[in-house]
Structure 1
């Protein structure tokens, strides 16, 4: 009887702040009636509402809108007399039609000047080719396949480097840089006689090294022609090898040696990275475990930077947020918290090869275990938790000393429930490459985070914060403004066995933003890009922290630096 949409030509249903758009509500009432509609934000707070009369039969009415508020909107509508609710659409549950409004933060943050393009800090998996989505989310990096299995599937020496060997998407959108993915062997160069991915060294190592030299030549030509302000080229050799490495330890290092020497023989600007295990630290099969094990066999000689994936939870969140074990009395359990993993990873890196760059090339949040897409899943509370946990993980990664972090995934896809930042409106279980989308709260939280934290250097974790309070300081490139990200987390308010996650829990916190004895104002940016002015006295501003990060923009970098600890080995962007 009733349906609704906020249509856009690009399929995203995301709008610029303070720009006109339309809510389109279609009815097919059996008699004259009245539509009752409202728009709620991530917390369920009503931002707009109204009603209008409709006659019997099929018709569409549009409501013109202009929003100076930014964030996630959930449109609901029903007929006063005849009832009805908005239908389920793909992975989006019934009852809502979602859209987003992007924040306009230039009046607060200004415009950052990048000395080189690779200072950008945010990547994305799942939206290769969807430039509208990438730009809406504030993304500058995607992963480009250059595996031997992709480039030479049928035999050796069938791939010739060329400056034109570039996906037209990248050529048309040079704001999107490439992390070159190198894992994956074709059957003809595999010890198993079939395709393998990061689980065996190549059958013919000299040929593999020759292939890598051609990839280096190709990438160097492409960068010179298409990315004149990009300083380096970035290559990732393996992809979660701990999920199935079945070859010898010596061959793992030999494979990296072949890749490293091949690429560096033709690309003087190469940054060869590994090992990209699923978890960052604190286990033998994590990236730290591989760095220590294979580093002792010479791996440090064959990587220029470390890459890792950033999972911390083994498929148990939002019930298992990245800070869950920070308050555990057992230090062994505390070490599994993502902030502790970051410290351990940077320590292992510093011991192995000082001051290396660190790239997180995948990290994402799913729904709670056991949930499946249905007319009632996800709930509003699940979507709130999904966004809060997802965005906090990426702030911890950057605040702990990573150059770059990568969102996973674009739209919902089959097999794993909820990893998408967008609903797929066409397919009930999601589909790879979906283009008819609407945003989840996480998408709009990401869009705010990228606009606030891209173009910054990490100053580090702010010292002296009480237990359960997480505060990270950043500074805009060129000695610009200070941005401090802050939130609180309480395990008691976040049930690990499933349940309702508190959307109201808060704590007070006093942040030093200026010298003692001074007073003035700072700008607060909430988790979805809405700004307000807060006064400070005696150099300190009183904050009310929630489970969703907020960002404080201030000007005294000397104070910020004196109160923060730069991550070990982090030397800036």
Structure 2
């Protein structure tokens, strides 16, 4: 069997030659041409052997198929072997030409091998010490063709990911209690054989692979007692089996009123119940059950966390239409009921859909006393009309930090923390329980959309958004959404959904986007930290936040650059943008090395002299790991009222 398999060398000229020779379709060639020189391949990366086996395949199907069989996540450990399987249905003997590109659309591996006529599958054994997202493309030399689209994944690619191993740079920290985990998510995928939505475990193995710990658990009144009062028994209520392992943490949802307790006669989120006493009684039962659950299944969790309302925005799907006084009274009933039976309760709200909306409503409801019935703050982290690659969180500036300028995420977070200090107890936790980045406004799933540039930009903006939220003083942040779904702006998923053209809830087949691997790296690097805050005196276009590992550990500084003029769907998402920045990592007069980690978690050593490391920043986050915490004491602005938990 004739076969040519190679890893791609790291010179731009070599990449250009391979680009010209191996582009599989005109669309991919156009996308690659714009970005071919933006990131080097070192020649020591992803490698695949010649086909190690071949077998007959089903006669019905596409001309060419490709997949990486796994536990359903299509995610693999760094440097560990995995299989890349091509299926061909060539009308005559032919040659398969394939290549694998990374997030930056750089060819990381490529090859060609002879294929026999008919339906055959060919298995290549691969491994990659380089972490990140990878897209496989393939065509036949004679019959041509390409990989077909699958669900929301466009034609021309099949995707997989390699998870980073950051342990050498950042050994695992010891969590004094599990509540200190900083990442959660929304969305499920039922990947185990025989599972379908929505029976079984929709969180494993994908959440644990990504490093997401927090999930929602429903104890909503309208769900637990839909038809009459008194049917919820805290002594017999069983915790959902997938939560009984204790490694995924609960954010307990309380929003909504059952129809029998509603002033409208219908289940509602818009009005207070007819009897606040009945609401308080129900909440006391939830508190008792949650306290029992925590001590039984979550012995290393300090508190229980409850979210009272969900996006009560007037123009949203669950609008509050009752009075401000009744809103506060409802919070009072919930708070008193929960605290009556749960000594470790943290009751949280208001959970408007944007950070700015929560600022506005705290200014309105705070003087009415709502802060007395909030042990912490939950918000959704949306910041613009369309949180998209073309609407990144740095696009709009508001230097006054009053939280009144739409689109300015950092300023809104600063204004929110100010309101928290005004109305909540010192050290009250701040959870951001939903933030997602969709495709651009007006776009839709399609055979040729999204392209590599959009997927790259989405990954960068997902990471940057959550780093801003945490760096500006959020204790925890939720990634939204696991896989592409219908009934929303397209593209929120950090995974493609492979069976439905517009996505689906609780899918059984998914494959990663670059955003999934950016999240996997971010959780490994930033989870197990407390926030130090944004760096001071940054030049225009540079963004930087410092964190410290728990237990007095190392400093992690996340840095990137953004230029509005070079970042939009119209002008292109300029991956090649580079800005030099000098970061102080040690005392004057010292020299040595720090470790940097790229957006995908790949490590590199960077020297420093006189205590300063010279960095080249790009639109994707660069994480710098250093040891001297003293040099950061006066270099950061601690978020207002923030207390490391």
TM-score range, shorter chain: over 0.9
Aligned 1:147-162 pairs, distance under 5 A: 147-162=220-235
* Alignment partner, residue 495 of structure 2: 422
Equivalence for 1:105:
166
Could you report, residue by residue, the CA deviation over 1:406-434 in whole angstroms, capped at 9, with x for unpaired residues?
A: 01011111022000110011111111001
Pairs within 5 Å for 1:263-278: 263-278=338-353
Question: In structure 2, what is the equivalent of residue 222 of structure 1?
Answer: 293
- Relative distance call for 1:238 and 1:330 in structure 2 (3 A) is closer
1:133 aligns with 2:206: yes
- Measured in 2, the distance between the counterparts of 1:308 and 1:323 equals 19
CA distance in 1: counterparts of 2:641 and 2:354, whole angstroms: 20
Instruction: After TM superposition, give the deviation of residue 562 of structure 1 in Å.
Output: 2.4
- Secondary structure class of the residue paired with 2:397: helix
Q: What SS does the aligned partner of 2:508 have?
A: coil
**Which residue in the other structure is 2:458 paired with?**
386
RMSD value, Cα: 1.5
Match of 1:344 among 415, 418, 422: 415
**Counterpart in the other structure of 1:86:** 147
Partner of residue 64, structure 1: 125
- Quick check: 162-171 or 138-147, which moved more? 162-171
Per-residue deviation, residues 34-71 of structure 1 (Å, max 9, x unmatched): 11111100110011111110011110101100110100
**Contact in 1 for aligned 2:597/2:623 (Cα 8 Å):** yes
Distance of 1:233 and 1:502 partners within structure 2: 44
Q: CA deviation at 1:314?
A: 2.0
Residue matched to 1:465? 538
Deviations 1:56-115 (A, max 9, x none): 111010110011010000000111111000000010000000000000000110110010
Shift of 1:335: 6.8
Instruction: Return 5+ residue gaps in structure 1 as ranges.
Output: none
- The residue matched to 1:296 in structure 2 has which SS? helix
Equivalent pair of 2:151/2:503 in contact (CA under 8 Å): yes
Q: 2:560 aligns to what SS in structure 1? A: strand
Q: Is 389-398 or 320-329 further displaced after alignment? A: 320-329
Within a 5 Å distance, the mapping from 1:241-252 to structure 2 comes to 241-242=312-313, 243=316, 244-252=319-327
Aligned equivalents of 2:538 and 2:399: distance in 1?
Answer: 17
Report whether the alignment pairs 1:312 with 2:383. yes
Tell me which residue corresponds to 1:202: 273
2:637 to 565, 568, 571: 565
Task: State whether residues 240 and 276 of structure 1, in contact with CA within 8 Å, keep that contact through their aligned partners in structure 2.
Answer: yes
Q: Kindly provide the CA deviation profile for residues 342-363 of structure 1, in whole angstroms up to 9, marking residues without a partner as x.
A: 1110011112233321110000
Deviation (angstroms), 1:327:
7.7
* In structure 1, distance between residues paired with 2:429 and 2:519: 23
State the 1:154 CA deviation.
Answer: 1.2
Shift of 1:336: 3.9
C-alpha distance in structure 2 between counterparts of 1:356 and 1:52, whole Å: 61
Equivalence for 2:438: 366
TM-score w.r.t. the length of structure 1 is 0.96
CA offsets per residue over residues 139-187 of structure 1, 9 Å max, x none?
111010110111111110110003652000101x311010000001221
Contact 2:387–2:436 at 8 Å: present in 1 too?
no
Name which of structure 1's ranges 403-412 and 320-329 shifts more when overlaid on structure 2.
Answer: 320-329
- Whether 1:397 aligns to 2:469 is yes
The 5 Å alignment of 1:21-32 reads 21-32=82-93
**Aligned-partner SS, 2:613:** strand
Tell me how far apart the structure 1 counterparts of residues 359 and 405 of structure 2 sit (CA, whole Å).
16
* In 1, Cα distance between equivalents of 2:210 and 2:146: 30
Mapped partners of 2:440, 2:389: distance in 1:
6
In 2, Cα distance between equivalents of 1:564 and 1:553: 16
Q: CA deviation at 1:316?
A: 5.0
Map of 2:58 onto structure 1: none
Give the match's secondary structure for 1:108: coil
Aligned to 1:261: 336
Choose which of 113, 117, 121 in structure 1 pairs with 2:182: 121
Aligned mates of 2:612, 2:341 — CA distance in 1: 53
Partner residue, 1:184: 256
Separation in 1, partners of 2:403, 2:545: 24
Distance in 2 between residues matched to 1:168 and 1:179, nearest whole Å = 16
Give the equivalent residue in structure 2 for 1:474: 547
Query: For 1:18-45, what per-residue CA distance to the aligned partner results, in whole angstroms no more than 9, with x for missing partners?
Result: 1110111110011111111111001100
Query: Contact 1:488 / 1:545 at 8 angstroms: preserved in 2?
Result: yes
Q: Is the 8 A contact 1:165 1:218 kept in 2?
A: no
Residue number in structure 2 paired with 1:549: 621
Q: Secondary structure at the match of 2:520?
A: helix
